[in-house]
Amino acid sequence: MGFLAPWFLGGLAALGVPVFVHLLRKHVTTPRPVGSLMFFERGTQSSSRHRRLRYWLLFALRFALVLLVVLAFANPFVRRNAADTKGQLLVIVLDNSFSMRAGTRFADAKREALAVLAAKPKEQKAQVMALGGQLAILLQPTVDDGPLRAALESIQPGDGHANFGEVGRGIRTLSETVPGPIDVHLFSDMQRTATPGNFADMVLPGNATLHVHAVAKGATPPNWTVESVDAPADLADPKDPKRSRVKAVVVGFGTPAAEKTVSLMVNGKTIATRKVNIPANGRATVEFAPLEVAYGFNKCAVRIEGGDAFPGDDASVFAVRRSDPERVLFIHAAGETRSTLYFGAALTAASQGSFLLQSVAAEQTTDLDPAKFAFVVLSDTAALPAIFEHTLEQYVARGGSVMIALGTHAGARAQIPLWPSAVKDVRNYVRTGGSAAVGEVDFTHPALEETKPGRDNGGWAETKVFYAAVVDSGQARVVAKLSDGTPLVLDRQVGEGHVLLLTSGLENLTNDLPLHPVFVAFVDRTARYLSGNERLSGSRLVDAFVPLRAANAAGELSSVEVIDPVGKRPLSLAEAHTAQTLQLQQAGFYQIRLANGRDAVLGVNPDRRESDLEPMAADVQQLWAGSGASGPVAETSATANVTKYQPVSLWWYVMLLALVVALAETALASGYMGTQREDA
């Protein structure tokens, strides 16, 4: 037992008040007439009889009332074992991220988690969660040990990247529905790279207490891994010196300087090896060229030979698709050749033979089938044959893509093909004696993607636009704007395909973009984006999402088919007809048949932050454990019975007893006062 406000105990000095009240009585005598006092002897009468306490029961009640009031203000409490509290929720969080595959970490963590579950009181509720790429709630709170144990046993090592911020957010959300205390036990290797950038994401709510069970013991083992691989996702010519090459970066975490053998594997066979010297705790680059692959999809990997403490991350996989050069249909106005010349030269320089340009006038497109082309470009065409325009609409709806450059004929258009609105106005900046600059560029769009644009806005800042059309963007994504706010590049999804609209032209009359180096990069990225080849192969990270069908065309086309790295189909029959995206939850190769009928093979790798096995600093762990209500909690053993106490206030009980005593004192005091009046 204790007192939450012990300084109020100073009020016990008020216990002297009842004593003083009961002793404060005057000795009253009745005067009587006496003739003479000469026969009386002088003497001293004892007053002790008048100082004795009377009415003992009344005195006891008053004494108890003062005592109870003082104790109530001191707020007494009793300590109660938290493990015996039925209202407390036990939350077991088991880390199954990729780094838990190192050594026996995952097996140790699961064994300790099962031991804590076995020590749980039968009447206490518990909940099981798994921390991988996301915090997965496997079971709702229950007192039944059977389902809880089954949920723990079902957790298997994953390939995701853990984030302790997910634990903080998950427990904070849980506390909104659980009013009582929450006892969180986290079983993890406490990897440093799992710490979020903002520590506030990890903070626990006031009613939660964290117990950290770190399974990574001893010194951090050295580990080498393939950090990244730069390889072509689509390859037309294996002899192309610019594209037919693989560049890999090998990095060491907590490692000494060493020489490693790195191999390039294609479809399970080693086709090349290289020796590379890796400095201590450093990285080195190794290159393989040329890349000899067969037609179709090729499953490739770069692997570090020789074991280390964590062999699971010694390889990085990727897919390369080899095909013949694809044709691009370029449709232009009759007699207009500038745009064909500029676009064709840029496409040849950028793609290195991956695309072949076929240029035709708009009037000659009646019998053409756009489905035979990787994508279609409409350059400054005033009108299209009705038959071809209808065929083009079907081509886009099924997954084809079209780029439209309005050019100087924009003002004469009644309607833009494949676009829901007509040209509203034109901006002829030459008439005003100047030009417009490119103001805003969305470098996250695949057609203009740039990692570090720089001060020149990726080269777009130097571009001058002399003529541009004004169109209603509607639901389209505005990719680039001019300095006056006029949209320059827009992207609109139509069915399963895309329409990329350039409100200016592809020649040097409406702008000087073809005269700048950024034009080649723009044509290159646009061609790969519209053809969709980059999305059919290459590599991704675990927990990334892959689009399976267009958001506005779900269920309109054929179902998708997905085979994961272990040969299973992760989508149900219903999901195969409706799913728009797929989350890649396993490392390895995924085989996908998209809703538009195209096949894809993707190599999926774990986040390489999981390869850094260094644990979180001890002081950071203690700070995190102390972010809840109960202060820092030391690391506990799996078999130890952790005793925690929770204060239970007795204030209401003390005040209730004081009320009863006050009522009894009032009734008793009234009776004594009535007796005294009768005696008088």
pLDDT of residue 553: 53
Average pLDDT over residues 195-214: 92
The count of other CB atoms within 10 Å of the CB of residue 121 is 14
Lowest average pLDDT, out of 67-76, 439-448, 549-558, goes to 549-558
Q: How confident is the model at residue 669 (pLDDT cuts 50, 70, 90)?
A: confident
Distance separating alpha carbons of residues 376 and 329, to the nearest angstrom = 5
Average pLDDT over residues 643-665: 76
Q: Look up residue 671 and give its DSSP letter.
A: H
Average pLDDT over residues 42-61: 61
Decide: helix, strand or coil at residue 322. Answer: strand
Nearest to 97 by CA among 660, 646, 608, 635: 608
Cα torsion through 427, 447, 243, 588, rounded to 10: 180
Tell the residue number behind the tokens 């903002």, with chain if given: 198
- Token pair in block for residue 122: 């039968």
Tell the residue number behind the tokens 């100073």, with chain if given: 10
Assess whether pLDDT exceeds 50 at residue 195. yes
Nearest to 468 by CA among 402, 411, 526, 403: 411
Distance separating alpha carbons of residues 162 and 543, to the nearest angstrom = 11
Biggest distance spanned by C-alpha atoms of the chain: 158
Q: How confident is the model at residue 249 (pLDDT cuts 50, 70, 90)?
A: very high
Any idea what the Cα angle at residue 422 is, between residues 417 and 424, rounded to 5°? 150
Assess whether pLDDT exceeds 70 at residue 59. yes
Nearest to 598 by CA among 536, 545, 668, 658: 536
Give the strand pairing for 599-605 and 539-541. Answer: parallel
Could you tell me if 91 and 184 are in contact, meaning their C-beta atoms sit under 8 angstroms apart? yes
Decide: helix, strand or coil at residue 547. Answer: strand
Q: Look up residue 418 and give its DSSP letter.
A: T
Average pLDDT over residues 489-513: 91
Nearest to 83 by CA among 673, 667, 646: 646
pLDDT of residue 45: 56
For 524-570, what is each residue's pLDDT tens digit? Answer: 999 989 988 778 899 999 999 998 887 655 444 578 999 999 999 99
Cα torsion through 510, 515, 517, 522, rounded to 10: 30
Distance separating alpha carbons of residues 514 and 505, to the nearest angstrom = 10
- Token pair in block for residue 502: 């350039």
Helix (H) or strand (E) segment spanning residue 74: helix 56-74
Q: Look up residue 474 and give its DSSP letter.
A: T
Q: Which residue has the higher pLDDT, 166 or 676?
A: 166
Strand partners, 320: 298
Average pLDDT over residues 488-506: 91
pLDDT of residue 597: 82
Helices assigned H by DSSP within 328-459? 338-351, 386-397
Tell the residue number behind the tokens 């990890």, with chain if given: 202
Decide: helix, strand or coil at residue 43. Answer: coil
Could you tell me if 179 and 141 are in contact, meaning their C-beta atoms sit under 8 angstroms apart? no
Q: How confident is the model at residue 424 (pLDDT cuts 50, 70, 90)?
A: confident
Query: Residue 287, CB half-sphere, CA atoms under 13 Å: how many?
Result: 7
Assess whether pLDDT exceeds 50 at residue 493. yes
Q: Which residues contact 314 (CB under 8 A, 6 or more apart)?
A: 224, 225, 226, 303, 304, 307, 308
For 370-415, what is each residue's pLDDT tens digit? Answer: 999 999 999 988 788 999 999 999 999 888 999 999 988 776 666 7
Average pLDDT over residues 625-652: 55
Provide the CA 231 distance to its chain's centre, in angstroms. Answer: 28
Lowest average pLDDT, out of 40-54, 214-228, 400-414, goes to 40-54
Assess whether pLDDT exceeds 60 at residue 4. yes
Distance separating alpha carbons of residues 99 and 522, to the nearest angstrom = 39
Give the strand pairing for 326-332 and 355-361. Answer: parallel
Assess whether pLDDT exceeds 70 at residue 40. no
Decide: helix, strand or coil at residue 537. Answer: coil
The count of other CB atoms within 10 Å of the CB of residue 440 is 15
Could you tell me if 99 and 610 are in contact, meaning their C-beta atoms sit under 8 angstroms apart? yes
Q: Which residue has the higher pLDDT, 70 or 467?
A: 467
pTM of the model: 0.72
For 350-372, what is each residue's pLDDT tens digit? Answer: 766 688 999 999 999 988 999 99
Q: Which residue has the higher pLDDT, 40 or 642?
A: 40
For 575-632, what is each residue's pLDDT tens digit? Answer: 998 898 999 999 999 999 988 888 999 999 999 999 999 999 988 988 898 765 544 4
Lowest average pLDDT, out of 15-19, 59-63, 498-502, 572-576, goes to 15-19
pLDDT of residue 636: 42
- Give the DSSP letter string of 255-316: ---EEEEEEEEETTEEEEEEEEEE-TT-EEEEEE-S----SEEEEEEEEE-S--S-GGGSEE
Q: Which residues contact 58 (CB under 8 A, 6 or more apart)?
A: 22, 665, 668, 669, 672
Helix (H) or strand (E) segment spanning residue 621: helix 618-625
Nearest to 332 by CA among 363, 355, 369, 357: 363
Q: How confident is the model at residue 475 (pLDDT cuts 50, 70, 90)?
A: confident
Gyration radius of the chain over CA positions: 41
Distance separating alpha carbons of residues 124 and 506, to the nearest angstrom = 71
Q: Average pLDDT over the chain, rounded to whole?
A: 85
pLDDT of residue 634: 41
Distance separating alpha carbons of residues 263 and 649, to the nearest angstrom = 68
Q: Which residues contact 275 (CB under 8 A, 6 or more apart)?
A: 259, 260, 261, 262
Q: Tell how many helices (H) and how many strands (E) occur in the chain.
A: 11, 33
Lowest average pLDDT, out of 276-280, 569-573, 604-608, 671-675, goes to 671-675
Assess whether pLDDT exceeds 60 at residue 25. no
Assess whether pLDDT exceeds 80 at residue 485. yes
- Give the DSSP letter string of 177-225: T--S-EEEEEEE--BGGGS-SSGGGGPPPTTEEEEEEE---SSPPPEEE
290 preceded by cis ω (within 30°)? Answer: yes
Query: What's the one-letter identity of residue 518?
Result: V
Nearest to 67 by CA among 25, 1, 19: 19
Q: Which residue has the higher pLDDT, 108 or 639?
A: 108
